[in-house]
Amino acid sequence: MPEPETPQTTAAKKLFVKTYGCQMNVYDSERMAEAMGAEGYVTTDVVEDADMVLLNTCHIREKASEKLYSDLGRLRALKADRPGLKVGVAGCVAQAEGAEILRRSPVVDLVVGPQSYHRLPQMVAAGGRQVDTEFPVEDKFSVLPERKVTRGPAAFLTVQEGCDKFCAFCVVPYTRGAEVSRPVARLLDEARGLVAQGVREITLLGQNVNAYHGAGPTGAMGLAALLREMAKIDGLARLRYTTSHPNDMEDDLIAAHGDLPQLSPYLHLPVQSGSDRILKAMNRKHTAEAYLRLIERIRAVRPDILVSSDFIVGFPGETDRDFQDTMDLIRTVGFGAAFSFKYSARPGTPAAERAPVAVEIADARLQELQALIATQQRAVQEAMVGREVTVIYEKSGRLPGQMVGKSDHLHAVHVQDPEGQIGQLVRVRVSASASNSLAANLLSRIP
């Protein structure tokens, strides 16, 4: 049903944001909502109520970027009912396709890239159909308004953006640009601001987060030094970082996993393949052996660390032997979680020019790999039963008196705790392992 007409002078305009893709897009969506908030927009979860719809897109695989066009199809009908509706496309498809989106979709008013979204309010104010996919000289973070809207006790904080690695399959170096690290002082300010609003857990984000090298008071600082500074913030109980590249796992970062109590025993370290031949063709610049040795060194300082990874199957030229090498690597490491994908050829990347693996073969390999990972994931989860863990409550559960939070190992944990408050830290003992979560009993509250 259409909304009753309300005078524009009193009613706030409503913004609906849909986020696809990685955690950095989640962070960017929040920042865009804040930028539009300063212009009088409030966010809504009901797309039919929106005065502006922003689609924050992902270009990583073909399926991800196609979602944009199916959503735009649906918005065309909505715009017919709400002629004043503004439609903006942000994120990595915006960067990759730019003005092509305006040509292809008459419903779109604005196209804005990941490095220029601080200009969104100006673009909206100027009216008309516009595209901005520049990599501007000004730092978007210094233009954006201060963060005010935080949803719950866990927050993301982008510390590094872009990538100079140019893996042969990947669009990120093209959509996000060259690697840039934000200065330490600004990040500490942003983190303190978040903690002042009740945030207890911060995940430092970057496409190559462990390549972080931001300006500090006495020169460039790496990720380990930044984590150590963050750990001094009173009230900040838990720190994480993602996503890392194996070649940037420096000694001091490994050491931090052994001696920084706030740092989660969880490491997402994508390997992509276990075959040296394929790793070389992917331009990953590391071998399977180097990855295994790295995991050994990290486990030596933090034996209970949960290791997670990304895998691509069916990369051009992948033989059955190569795939078996990947399965062997998985068996050797024992992953607690993983994301796995069928290779998707992306226009403009070097691998897109190479002969593809037959789709049935890639499908079968993906299934086989996912079955092995699922077994390992279950085993890691089941090994938590009986253990004492710390949980930060994030929301109430579906059952009365139930709270749901994340453990240090990032498992979802259900706790019966009628007095539980969102944001509270508790010690619990894990009592059971379900398919995607743990159940636990409350032991004590941590102030």
Positions touching ligand SAH (CB under 6 A) are 60-61, 169-170, 172, 207-208, 243, 245, 270, 272, 310, 312, 341, 343-344, 346
Residues 56-95: x/- map of binding to ligand F3S (CB under 6 A)? Answer: --xxx------------------------------xx---
Residue 176 sits in the site that holds ligand F3S (CB under 6 A)? yes
User: Which of ligand SF4, ligand SAH, ligand F3S, none does residue 135 bind (CB under 5 to 8 Å by kind)?
Assistant: none
Residues 186-225: x/- map of binding to ligand F3S (CB under 6 A)? Answer: ---------------------x------------------
Helices (H), 150-287: 172-175, 184-196, 223-230, 251-259, 276-281
Out of 15, 50, 120, 172, point to the residue binding ligand F3S (CB under 6 A): 172
User: How many other CB atoms sit within 10 Å of the CB of residue 80?
Assistant: 10
Q: 24 to 43, contacts with ligand F3S by CB under 6 A?
A: 24-25
Number of H helices, E strands in the chain: 14, 21
Stretch of 132-140, 170-178, 343-351, 392-400 lying at the interface with ligand F3S (CB under 6 A): 170-178
User: Which of ligand SAH, ligand F3S, ligand SF4, none does residue 61 bind (CB under 5 to 8 Å by kind)?
Assistant: ligand SAH
Q: Which helix (H) or strand (E) holds 99?
A: helix 99-104
CB of 101 to ligand SAH, least distance (A): 20
Q: Which amino acid is at 277?
A: R
Angstrom distance (rounded) from CA 219 to CA 197: 30
User: Which of ligand SAH, ligand F3S, ligand SF4, none does residue 173 bind (CB under 5 to 8 Å by kind)?
Assistant: ligand SF4
Residue 163 sits in the site that holds ligand SF4 (CB under 6 A)? yes
Q: 203 to 232, contacts with ligand SF4 by CB under 6 A?
A: 207-208
Beta bridge partners, 439, equal 414, 432
Contacts of 247 (CB under 8 A, 6+ apart): 285, 286
Please work out, in degrees rounded to the nearest 5, the angle formed at the alpha carbon of residue 196 by the alpha carbons of 34 and 446.
130
Percent composition of the chain: helix, strand, coil (DSSP 3-state, to 5): 35, 25, 40
Angstrom distance (rounded) from CA 85 to CA 90: 16
Task: Between 305 and 362, name the residue whose CB sits nearer to ligand SAH.
Answer: 362
Residue 166 sits in the site that holds ligand SF4 (CB under 6 A)? yes
Angstrom distance (rounded) from CA 254 to CA 261: 13
CA distances (Å), origin 385, targets 377, 389, 424, 425: 14, 10, 22, 19
Q: 376 to 415, contacts with ligand SF4 by CB under 6 A?
A: none
Residue 165 sits in the site that holds ligand SF4 (CB under 6 A)? yes
Angstrom distance (rounded) from CA 164 to CA 31: 24
User: Which of ligand SF4, ligand F3S, ligand SAH, none does residue 312 bind (CB under 5 to 8 Å by kind)?
Assistant: ligand SAH
Residue 279 sits in the site that holds ligand SF4 (CB under 6 A)? no
Q: Contact, 320 vs 355, CB < 8 A? A: no
Interface residues toward ligand F3S, by CB under 6 A: 21-22, 24-25, 58-60, 91-92, 171-172, 175-176, 207
Site residues (CB under 6 A) for ligand SF4? Answer: 163, 165-167, 170, 172-173, 207-208, 245
